[in-house]
Amino acid sequence: MQGLSAGFSRLSSMRIATWNINSVRTREDRVRAFLERSDVDVLCLQETKCTDKQFPDFSDTGYEQAHHGLHSFNGVAILSRVGLEDVQTEFGQPGFDKDLNAVQHQEARAIGALCNGVRVWSLYVPNGREIRDPHYSYKLAWLDALASYAKTTGEDGTAEKLVLTGDFNIAPRDEDVWDRSWFEGKTHVTPNERKRLTALEDAGLTQATELIADQYTYWDYQAMRFQKNEGIRIDLQYARGLSPEAGRVDRDERKGKGASDHAPVIIDYTV
């Protein structure tokens, strides 16, 4: 992590983007091009699929970086040009092992830092796999821990400015999937999952990505989903203490050879 935090002035607005990059080493050039054209202050990445040592060095772009990766799967990162301090990788989340009798080790699914006085988290919520799979119970427990964390306050009794952003692997509404019947009996749309998103709002956060509620953020590589616009909206941002003013999905980033199956989601905030 490169130390540039002392060199910026506090901003009254912030542009924050989240992007499931689906292998950062494969798409390093795309990340660099996105940073150059998007004018984002903070970029949160998920599914980097590399260890900390393997994560590319973006310091020449003017962004500080923090990454949490343990293996060739999962992995999360924050790139910030407005400060990057007090980096954390735990908020009380549970671990997981398919052998439920084994030690449940934490996965590399969360990294948070103070950026321009705002606590920003890049989150890769567990997929859940299937409703009867232990990974589904793990997903719900992980989200319960996130909601509990969001309710915490500082010693003065006030809650810090907070943005929870990333691949939540949940579509908040039926309208956020191209065909609700296709998801019948599957994860991502169940009442138990959606209840966990409501819990974040009950904790005082606003779903900032309601600004792009008419746009999908993920299209599977299979069955020509992108070409048919058969997508889902699962890349979200929840904010407290900031006012979301505008948002967009960089759909063009999903086009062309070598694209991630997710598009970047960008929200402009007043801080």
Question: Catalytic site residues?
Answer: 124, 167, 262
- Give the Cβ contact number of residue 98 at 10 Å: 9
Sign (positive/negative) of CA torsion 23, 24, 29, 35?
Answer: positive
With CA atoms as reference, report the closest residue to 132 among 187, 58, 54: 187
Q: Is 250 annotated as a binding residue?
A: no
Backbone dihedral angles phi then psi of residue 265, each to the nearest 5 degrees: -115, 125
Q: List, in sequence order, every residue forming a beta bridge with 249; answer none if it has no partner.
A: 265
169 is in an annotated binding site: yes
In three-state secondary structure terms, 183 is helix
Q: Angle, to 10 degrees, between the axis of helix 191-202 and the axis of helix 134-150?
A: 10
Copy the structure tokens of residue 122. 């890049």
262 is in an annotated binding site: yes
Is residue 229 a known part of a binding site? no
State in Å, rounded, how far the first CA of the chain is from the last one. 25
Residue 261 known to bind ligand: yes
Find where tokens 């009798």 sit: 101
Q: Where are the alpha helices (DSSP H) in the chain?
A: 28-38, 134-150, 191-202
> 191: buried, middle or exposed (CB in 10 Å: 19+, 13-18, 0-12)?
exposed
Q: Which residues are annotated as a binding site for Mg(2+)?
A: 20, 47, 167, 169, 261-262
